[in-house]
Structure formats: C-alpha cells, structure tokens
Amino acid sequence: MEQFDVVIVGGGSAGLAALKHLSSKGIQSVLMEAGSTVGTKNVSGGILYSKNPQTGKVYNVDEIFENFLQEKPWERQITKYILNCVSKDKVLSIDLTDSHEYQSNFGCSVLLNKLNSWFAKQSLEVAERNGGGIVNGVHVRNISWDEEKGKTIIQTDELDDFEAKAIIASDGVNSEVAEITGARKKFSPPELYQGVKVVVKLPEEIIEERFDLSPGEGTAHIFAGDVTLGHIGGGFLYTNIDSLSAGVVYHYDSLISNPMGPNNLVNALLNNPFVKEYIKDEVALEPYPDKSLSKMEQLRIKFAVNKLIKRWEKLRFEYYSHEGKKRFLDDKEFNSIEDVKSKMDAIHKELLEKYNTRFETDYVELEYSTKLIPDGKRCRMKKPYIKNILFIGDAAGRGLFIGPRIEGLNVGIDDAVRASNAIKQALEKNNLDVASNYLGELYSQSVQESPYTMDMERIDKYYIKTIIDTAGKQIPSQKIGKYRLLFRLFQNDKLRNISIDIVNKIGYNNMLSLIESEETYIHTPINIAAKLGTKTISEYSLSIPELSQRISNLSYNDDPQSHIKIINPRSEFMKKMVTLCPTKCYSLEGEDVVLQHEGCIECGTCSPETEWRHPRGEKGIQYKYG
C-alpha cells in the first residue's frame, strides 16, 4: 500500500495554503480534491484580507505565496468599504473604510476559481519537488486506523487505498472527514449562515467610472435593512476587474423561522434601485425573426445577428479594459483606439438599423452560486483534531463574521500554516503516534493563540470604536430618535468600554442572540435610512433569470449515484427544505419530501437532516467564477 507523509483532503484556499507551506518545508504532501480541477467547487463573496494584528501573529496569504502581490491573482484592492442602510428606495451610505482597514495590510476582491487555480499552480511546483502533488477528481470516502499496525488508511471512490502519517482535513463546511471520523457533530442551523451569490458582467472602465475608482482599485458595499426581507444578515456588492459579485448572507436560523427561496433573497438585493443603478449595462437583444421571410432567410439573419452581437460585445469589453486596449494595438488589429470605437459604433449601427436589434438597459448575470458558511463564534471546533487528523478552515468551523467583518479565507490560511508547522514539529520529534495526541495538542494550542480565535471569543473594543467613530461622524445622532441614547452611550469611550467589558464577562456567546438581532440587522438600519437616506430612482427593469435558467447556465456533470439521502422525509426541517433549497431540488409528494436532485449545487443547506456527501470525483457542479 502506497504511503505519503501528509495527505490534505480538499483543495479550497485553506488546503492549498497547507500544501504550499508543508511542501516549502520539504515535507512530502499530496492534496486530494473532489472537483475535476481545483477551484471549480469553491465559492466566496469575497474579500481576501492580509492582516496585521497589534497583538499576536497571523499568517497571511502574501507570506505563504510569495508572488501574490506581484502576480495579482485577485481582482481589485478594496479601498472603499461602505455600509448601506436601506429602506425601500432610500439609502444612507456610511463610509466604513476605517473599519475595513483596521489592522489590515490590504483586502482584495477575489473570484475563487481564479484564485485557487493560481494557488494550485504555486503549490504544485513546490510539492512535486518533494514527491507530492495535487490529485484532482478524487473523492475521499473513508479514513480508518489500524491501531495494531499503527496505520492510517484512506479510501477514495477512485483510487486504491493508501496510507498517510498525518492528514489535514480542509474539506469545507460540510466536512465528510469530520463525520466519518466522529471528530465533530454536523453543524446545526444556529451555527451557520447561507450565502447566495451572483456574478454580474460589467466592463472594467465602466466599473471604474461608476464606482469612482482608479485602475486596480475596488469598492465593497454591504447592505442592511429591508433588502433582507426580514432576515438576519445582509447583502454585499463587490467590484471585480470586469464583473461584480452581488450576494446575500443570512443566518440559517432566521431562514428556518421565515422560509424564503434563497434565489428570491438575492433577487431582492438586485432589485433594490440603488443596486440596480450599479449593475446596469447596455444589452443587445436579438430581434424577432420576420415571419414573412423564408425559413432559410430567417436562419441566415439569425446567424448574422448573433455573430455581430458577439463581436460587438467582445470589442466593447476589450475597448473598456486597460489590457484590452493594449492588446488591440500590440496585435496590430487596429491602428488606433479611435478605430476600435469606430468599428464598435459601426456594428452597433448595423445591428440597430439593418437588423432592428434593440439595445436595452439591463444587467447580465454570469453565475449563480450558494454555499453554507460556518459562524466561528458559535461553531469553531474547540478541539480541531482527532488522532492524526487536523481540521482547518471551514471544516473546523472557523469563519469570522462580526457585523461588517466577513472573513473566512484568511482564517483558513492562518489555520493551514499552524497545522503545517505542527506536523513539521511532530515529524521532527518522530511523534505522530495517534495514541499520544502530541500532534493534535500542538496544533490546538497554536490555533488557540491565533488572534482570529481571540476575535471569535471576545468583542474587540478598538474595532467597535473605529466603527462608532466613523459612523458617528456621518450620522447626525439627534436625528435617530430612540437609538440616539444607545449611539451616544457607545460614542463615549468609558461607557463603551464598560458595556463591552460587561458583555465579555457575561460571555460573548451568551449575548449573541441579542447582538445579532432583528433590531441590529433590520429595524435600526431601516429607521436610519427612512429618516436620513437619499432617494434613488432607477427606471429600467431587470431581466432576472428564472431559477431553472440559472441552473441550466451552470456547468454540471451529473452523478447518477445519489450523494444525498433523506433521513426523515416527513420532518418539519425537510418540509422547509422544499423552499430553502436554493435550487428547489426538493418537492412534496403527499406527506413526503422527495429529492429530485437534478440541480443540486452542493451548498449543504439540507445537510443537517440528510446523509450528505459530495458527489464522486469530477461529478456535480463546476463553478467558473466561484
């Protein structure tokens, strides 16, 4: 039986950081990823931070991947961070850039397929030097220990069994490794959020003009108030290079008590007039064929129009991009940028006048995705290991979601380094004996020392101060009625510190339901926006794709072997799943909930009451953007 030093299960950003760090320390490491290629199974909002805490050390992406800043596998560096309180068409925008920059080196928007593919390339080079690597399309099915022979055996759906001296489980929020080995219970709805996201296409320079950005710079907007349709959580709109990530993140409990189709929740954000104005673009619509013409002629026109629209869209996207402009001239396709513009305008005219093509204001959706997110404040594993398996990132339940602070990617990377360092030390001491817990305890202790763990356990006074100070300058407190007193209290250094101390004494955990309440996420933002907000008018209507259209636009490799089994088809939870599954994979037949399954995009929402597994290697959803 083949043996490796370390096996990493799951090639998200956490697992890939572990592969890079272990390999750069000369340790043979092999990463197994269920997706057909790295990146196709991962979803984020997302902003990836590099942090610089005042006390303690975190391990950042730019430290682990040395070329990160030069090669720029991200989208834009976020230089503006704005909280929008929303009430119907009124919005009060509060600039929270100071809080985004709090103890940060930088934060950049990312699309996970691109980011993780780059991580994979960087890691693979180093891993192969040590006899390791990445094996795609492999789904780890089981892990067991032969205590007598001191062996740890890994079984997959695709390969022969093999052994490892140590394992890093980076298999995400629905970690099967955790379940198989009994390391932790499945996360329950109060411990989770559901994230739903769409990627919207928009040319680079239009993004820069609309969001008032210099090349390479980006903005993050987050949303609270009535866009949430009464749920606890909020929305986001982040700028990428030539697309926007728009999505919502809601407490799972809040969704259970007020079930609503997740696609409708993201639609509510898209339909907000303020958001609509940011996502709009000029879209060409194919004309209806002239039925008086022969079938052949109709077909010929259809092809011609289609080709012209594609050409116009491509030219336009390149024309409105910095790289595109350079490429036109480098390739000598055009003599000048003015020539590109003239060509574009000529095609536009031809489409309009010769072929009756309509040009409308609309938005263009590229991808719909969903995923569960663990709330580290509630569900991080207190003991993130079992025997010689160390859990990192979402698999260990370590997301950091505190008001406007949304972090999971950086936390997973920090965990990855801590796990790798622990393995290196245990290998050097030749102490990977599963009975001794030496490795697990080393890692546990290191994770406990991470400033991120501290952030999940206590409220940071200085962080709150940054938010209150910046918000206080922008919200005239005499105008916010009954919240004035509370606001004043928090603006006073001494009183704020005392109240935060009291909360931390009572136990931050015990206060969470009060802190993350309808009052804070819904009613207060609505009131503030209604009183102080500015009206936005947006007069076009969005052609939001139907859910079935969204699903059929995704790349999908269906697995005839079901990866989800309903435990109790009559449970109240499963009945709610008929609404809460973001792709409507469930339906009610008589008294029983039945899984249809065609559209499952592996979000995990139904996992608490199903036997939930990822599909076999290479099967299932393949995100292009993530």
Which of 6, 14, 126, 315 binds ligand FAD (CB under 6 A)? It is 14
User: If binding is defined by CB under 6 A, does position 412 make contact with ligand FAD?
Assistant: yes
Q: Is the dihedral of CA 590, 592, 598, 604 positive or negative?
A: positive
Pairing of strands 610-612, 564-566: antiparallel
Report the nearest approach of ligand FAD to the CB of residue 74 (Å). Answer: 12
- DSSP assignment letter at 196: E
Separation of alpha carbons 282 and 312, rounded Å: 11
Binding to ligand SF4 (CB under 6 A) within 563-582 occurs at: 564, 581-582
Which of 11, 132, 262, 615 binds ligand FAD (CB under 6 A)? It is 11
Q: Which does 46 bind (CB under 5 to 8 A by kind): ligand SF4, ligand FAD, none?
A: ligand FAD
Nearer to ligand FAD, 69 or 283 (CB): 69
Binding to ligand FAD (CB under 6 A) within 350-379 occurs at: 371, 373
Stretch near ligand FAD under the rule CB under 6 A, chosen from 119-127, 387-395, 518-526, 546-554: 387-395
User: If binding is defined by CB under 6 A, does position 31 make contact with ligand SF4?
Assistant: no
Separation of alpha carbons 542 and 271, rounded Å: 7
User: If binding is defined by CB under 6 A, does position 600 make contact with ligand SF4?
Assistant: yes
Stretch near ligand SF4 under the rule CB under 6 A, chosen from 52-60, 339-347, 552-560, 600-608: 600-608
Write down the H helix ranges in 248-375.
Answer: 252-257, 262-271, 273-279, 295-319, 322-330, 337-349
Q: By CB neighbour count within 10 A (0-12 exposed, 13-18 middle, 19+ buried), where does 116 fall?
A: buried
Separation of alpha carbons 563 and 576, rounded Å: 20
Beta carbons of 246 and 200 less than 8 angstroms apart: yes
User: If binding is defined by CB under 6 A, does position 170 make contact with ligand FAD?
Assistant: yes
Nearer to ligand FAD, 222 or 585 (CB): 222
The alpha carbon torsion through 185, 187, 393, 624 (nearest 10 deg) reads 130
Which of 41, 550, 576, 584 binds ligand FAD (CB under 6 A)? It is 41
Nearer to ligand SF4, 522 or 574 (CB): 574
Per-residue x/- mask for ligand FAD, residues 110 to 139, rule CB under 6 A? -----------------------------x
Phi, psi of 498 (to 5 degrees): -65, -45
- Nearest alpha-carbon partner for 252 in 189, 158, 204, 163: 189
User: If binding is defined by CB under 6 A, does position 34 make contact with ligand SF4?
Assistant: no
The count of other CB atoms within 10 Å of the CB of residue 146 is: 10
Which residues does residue 32 pair with via DSSP β-bridges, in sequence order?
A: 9, 135
Report the nearest approach of ligand SF4 to the CB of residue 188 (Å). Answer: 15
Nearer to ligand FAD, 333 or 611 (CB): 611
Q: By CB neighbour count within 10 A (0-12 exposed, 13-18 middle, 19+ buried), where does 578 fall?
A: middle
Which residues does residue 7 pair with via DSSP β-bridges, in sequence order?
A: 30, 167
Nearer to ligand FAD, 81 or 586 (CB): 81
Site residues for ligand FAD per CB under 6 A: 9-15, 32-35, 41-48, 139-140, 170-172, 176, 195, 197, 247, 249, 371, 373, 393-395, 399, 406-410, 412, 614
Q: Name the site residues for ligand SF4 (rule: CB under 6 A).
A: 564, 581-583, 585, 600-606
